[in-house]
Structure formats: structure tokens, C-alpha cells
Homo-oligomer: A and B are copies of this chain.
Amino acid sequence: FENDAPKSLRKLIEDGGKKEMLDPTYPYSDRMVRDEYEDTLDALQIELVKMQDWVLRTGARVVVIFEGRDAAGKGGTISRVRQNLNPRVVRTVALAKPTPKEAGEWYFQRYIKHLPSAGNITLFDRSWYNRGVVEHVFGFCTPEQREHWFMQAPELERMLVNDGVHVIKIWLNVGRAEQLRRFLAREADPLKHWKLSSIDVKGLSKWDAYTDAISETLTRTHTDVAPWTVIRSEDKRRARIGAIRHILSRLPCDLADPAVIGEQDDSIVGGPELILRDA
């Protein structure tokens, strides 16, 4: 399938070393070194466990939405967040494509069903933002439906936030060459082969349509109560750390230790402008 991707990209990947960053605009040329990554991650995991205590104790409700192109690293990031948390407290929701019954319902209905009760955390692996991007790019919704959705999504989020739900929206961003490299790796790896869906492959030739849809979505749904945080995830390690750090810093969780949480890396974590600039 790689023939669907431009030649120049494929050349780039062949030339690139295994661990080298392919996107010249990415601020680091190499992955974070393993030791630093593991130490930082371990420390943050402890803060996540404290955060979980806080959620249980205060009955807080937390929603984290993970979005991004295919192979942007949503699944891997989510599993690092969950790693040491109680599965009875934290749930991951990755909905399949809507059944006919669901397709006839209010668009948000099947997602709302999974919102957390007091003392619970819901991690959405893809979310209602499907309508903004993948459904649009593949024509699974009409332009009118999408326009309508652009009105409703921010309203719904505002209602949730007003109700006291903590809503955190993370957009993982990956460059075109890196995405292709990951697809090729999935292709080659018998363990990951199944991860390559037909939507992924067909999406390869729709890079620009995706870019436009993403820009519009980020711009129109970046609100004061539920802002987007974009994380450049060329380097998965830095991205995972950035995501956990962001989650911890967004919650008014008195148990967390600010010194451990550390400073966010502004060169790879920021608002939509981080991505819109180079979009």
C-alpha cells in the first residue's frame, strides 16, 4: 500500500535512521533517552495514582479525550496513563462505528452513556470529534450534519464543564513521514498488523483533506471551558510524558506534587496554534 504515499516520503523514511525524527520542524532530532524517559514516567505514574486517590475521595469526574490522526499514538499514550490505575476507576472508551440504531440517535447519545459517574475517569480513544474529521473526510456525514455538530459539540462540553466535569482534550499530532513510517512498521510486524485498518490505508491519500478538517475542527472547538492541547508526538516518549503532565496540571488535585509534575515542554505541547502554524 505504500505506493499510495508520495515517493519523496518513502525516500525520507528509507534514509532516516530507526530512531531519528523525520520531521525537520520537530524541535528534537532524537528520541528522549530511555533512562530519562523511564525515570520521568515512573515519577509521573505516582502522581497519577495520587490523582486517582483524589478522584475517589472527592467524587470528581474526569473526561480525557484523546484525538489525532491514525498512528498518532493515542492507544499507547492511553495505556501509559492507565498502567498503574485501578480499572474500576478508569475506563477507556473506544466505540466501534455506529450501529444502525445508534446512527438514528442524537449524535452524542452513545458517547454520553459512557460519561463518568462520581469518582470515575473516562478516557476516550477517539470521541465525538470523529464527526469533525474522519467522518467528514470519508463522507460518513453530510456537510450540514457537520456544521450542525460544530454548534453542538462546544455547547455540550460547556454543559458538562458547568456541571463540574473536568474535560481535558488532547490532540496528538504526527507528521506525514512519521505516520507512514509507523504504518509500514505495523505492516511488517505480525503483532501489529491488525492495527492497520482499511480506513488507515485509504486515509494515506487523503492527508490534505485530513489537515484541513483538523485545522477547522481545532479552531472551531477550542473554547475557554474546554480548550485543546496539542502535543507533537513525533517522539512518542516525549508525547506520553507531555500528555500525563498535562492531565495532572489541569486537575485541581491537591495531592499532586508540582515539583514532580515538572514544567511542560512548550516546544511540543501547546494550544492549536502549535499545529496550525505548520499545517
Contacts and interface: CB of A to CB of B under 8 A. Distances in A.
Contacts of A87: 92, 94
A163 interface: yes
A17 to B, nearest CB: 23
A222 B156 CA distance: 21
A87 B87 CA distance: 14
A96 to B, nearest CB: 6
A277 to B, nearest CB: 33
A152 B162 contact: yes
Q: Which 5 A-B pairs have the closest CB atoms?
A: A104-B118, A104-B117, A84-B191, A105-B117, A46-B190
- Identify the interface centre among A45, A53, A163, A193: most chain B CB within 10 Å of its CB: A163
Contacts of A192: 84
Contacts of A94: 87-88
Nearest to A163: B106
A168 interface: no
Interface string A81-121: 00011111000101010010111111101001101111110
Contacts of A69: none
- For this chain, the copies found in one complex come to 4
Interface in A103-160: 103-107, 109, 112-113, 115-120, 148, 151-152, 155-156, 159-160
Contacts of A109: 112-113, 115
Contact of A162 (B86, B116, B119, B151): B151
Contact of A148 (B53, B160, B162): B162
23 contacts: A45-B191, A46-B191, A49-B190, A84-B192, A86-B194, A86-B195, A87-B92, A88-B94, A99-B99, A99-B101, A101-B117, A102-B117, A104-B118, A104-B119, A105-B116, A105-B118, A106-B112, A106-B115, A106-B159, A109-B113, A113-B113, A148-B162, A155-B159
Given A50-B190, A86-B194, A152-B163, 20 more contacts: A42-B191, A46-B190, A49-B194, A59-B104, A61-B105, A84-B191, A86-B195, A87-B92, A88-B96, A99-B101, A105-B116, A105-B117, A105-B118, A106-B115, A106-B160, A113-B113, A148-B162, A152-B162, A155-B155, A156-B159
A52 interface: yes
A273 B70 CA distance: 49
Given A84-B192, A104-B61, A104-B117, A152 B159 contact: yes
